[in-house]
Amino acid sequence: MRTKDEYEMEPAERDFWLAQVAHLVDDLDPVPVGLVARAQFAIAIEDIDAEVELEAARWADQRPLVGVRSGAPGTITFFVGDLTVMVNVTRTGERQRIDGWLVPAGEHGVEVRVADHGSTATTADVGGRFVLTEVPRGTTQILVRMNGGKPRTVVTPTVVL
């Protein structure tokens, strides 16, 4: 039976083999283009008051979003606790229109963030409906600032629109 010392390599040999493994990983399973930027965008939420509760919404439907991934946006639904956020995305040339509905309804603040394009904000009407026109395409995230009761902000997962 071999001892641990019999399996150890010289530092130069170890570095060579580690570099070979790293090269294989980079070739066979590279980091997707833009992944780091999308991750940084998703967690870089500015202007969130430390006193406000922040919640992350989830997809309402766990099936693959074929329409969104294929470049043909449509209706997307998110939910968290008692809040449901449904948005319909319509392409308008190089931009898009986002029609949305919040349940429970109310005059809640809505902000749509698009990576490398800043954000656009509006307020939903008493029925929970909101519209944003001329929204740039790209990695998008929606923030809903709930009014009434305990203030909280709900953040949707990022989606490429």
Model confidence over 114-128: pLDDT tens digits? Answer: 988 888 999 999 999
Give the span between the Cα atoms of 102 and 80, in whole angstroms: 11
Residue 87 CA to its chain's centroid (Å): 14
84-99 pLDDT, tens digit per residue, is 889 999 988 889 999 9
State yes or no: pLDDT of 49 exceeds 60.
Answer: no
Place of tokens 């319909």: 88
Contact 52, 151 (CB under 8 A): yes
d(CA 132, CA 40): 24
